[in-house]
């Protein structure tokens, strides 16, 4: 079968952070499938058809990509950041598992990108320098009770934590509820970081103690990083460095 599906990450926003491997995939593709703003990051060219779709139709998008590949098309499925982190890779494999047998015979590969969590951590210093976890705060695909349980257990285990999808117009109250859970478990002076539009010209970094954090500090373009109890800040005129030491005292 000559068609293929390659699931690629476009990085956090700056085109310089797209990997050469992903650039090569996009140059070979006959079709690009993805959420509207991500597809528009791929330059138009002769021989390339761009298929834009709205948010929350990931399975439909994945099925469309697999169907075109069966027909011999070379299909790039694009995500921002890394396609395996709350993105399209899982959706494509879910569609393949439930779809016709021909889809399982396709060449389907995943090509990593720099996820927003790592770009945000790099911009701040090294807040994920020791054990950490990553939690999606959207309750679109899982119940809030599960999010709250994972938040509480991660905070009790003293992980540094990275939060995706903290707050949106459709879910304005979720991040406030997450802050309440964190305040129940973490010290008020524990550091929390907000990285908005990371790696783009609009990048904005904010570091405050947990006691000063408010829901309005986050939106859907923001990655939030909650430091561990030993995460440290180094004040500087050009903006602080934040890091979590690589070891924990016995």
Structural domains present in the chain: 4-114 (3.40.1010.10), 117-243 (3.30.950.10)
pLDDT at position 172 is: 73
pLDDT at position 141 is: 87
Which of 26-35, 136-145, 189-198 shows the lowest per-residue confidence on average (mean pLDDT)? 136-145
Mean pLDDT of the 95-101 span: 95
Per-residue pLDDT band for 39 (boundaries 50, 70, 90) equals very high
User: Would you give the end-to-end CA distance of the chain in angstroms?
Assistant: 57
113 within 8 A of 8, measured Cβ to Cβ: yes
pLDDT at position 70 is: 96
Which phi-psi region, left, alpha or beta, contains residue 82 (left: φ > 0; alpha: ψ -120 to 50)? beta
Per-residue pLDDT band for 150 (boundaries 50, 70, 90) equals very high
Cα-to-chain-centroid distance, residue 140: 15
35 pLDDT above the threshold of 90: yes
pLDDT at position 113 is: 97
pLDDT at position 3 is: 95
What tokens were used for 139?
A: 């309750």
Rounded-to-integer distance, Cα 83 and Cα 76, Å = 11
Mean pLDDT of the 30-55 span: 94
Kindly report, residue by residue over 210-247, the tens digit of the pLDDT: 999 999 999 989 999 999 999 999 999 988 999 999 98
Kindly report, residue by residue over 101-130, the tens digit of the pLDDT: 999 999 999 999 999 999 999 999 999 999
The DSSP bridge partners found for residue 31 are: 49, 75
Based on C-alpha coordinates, what's the Rg of the chain?
20
82 within 8 A of 21, measured Cβ to Cβ: no
What tokens were used for 177?
A: 């509820």
Mean pLDDT of the 42-49 span: 95
pLDDT at position 173 is: 82
For helices 144-156 and 174-185, the axis angle rounded to 10 degrees is: 30
* Percent residues over pLDDT 70 in the chain: 100
């Amino acid at each position: 079968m000559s068609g293929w599906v390659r699931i690629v990450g476009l990085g956090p926003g700056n085109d310089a952070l797209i990997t050469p491997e992903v650039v090569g995939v996009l140059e070979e593709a006959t079709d690009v499938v993805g959420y509207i703003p991500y597809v528009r990051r791929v330059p138009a060219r002769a021989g390339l058809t761009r298929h834009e779709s709205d948010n929350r139709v990931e399975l439909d998008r994945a099925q469309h990509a697999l169907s075109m590949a069966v027909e011999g098309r070379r299909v790039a499925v694009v995500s921002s950041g890394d396609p395996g982190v709350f993105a399209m890779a899982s959706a494509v494999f879910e569609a393949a598992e439930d779809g016709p047998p021909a889809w399982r015979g396709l060449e389907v590969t995943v090509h990593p990108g720099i996820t927003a969590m790592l770009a945000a951590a790099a911009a701040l210093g090294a807040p994920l320098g020791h054990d950490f976890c990553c939690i999606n705060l959207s309750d679109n695909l899982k119940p809030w009770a599960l999010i709250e349980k994972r938040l509480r257990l991660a905070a009790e285990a003293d992980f540094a934590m990275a939060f995706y999808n903290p707050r949106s117009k459709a879910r304005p109250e979720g991040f406030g509820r997450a802050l309440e859970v964190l305040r129940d478990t973490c010290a008020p002076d524990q550091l929390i970081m907000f990285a908005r539009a990371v790696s783009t010209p609009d990048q904005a970094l904010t570091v405050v103690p947990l006691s000063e954090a408010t829901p309005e500090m986050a939106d859907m373009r923001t990655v939030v990083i909650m430091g561990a109890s030993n995460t440290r800040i180094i004040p500087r005129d050009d903006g602080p460095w934040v890091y979590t030491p690589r070891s924990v005292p016995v």
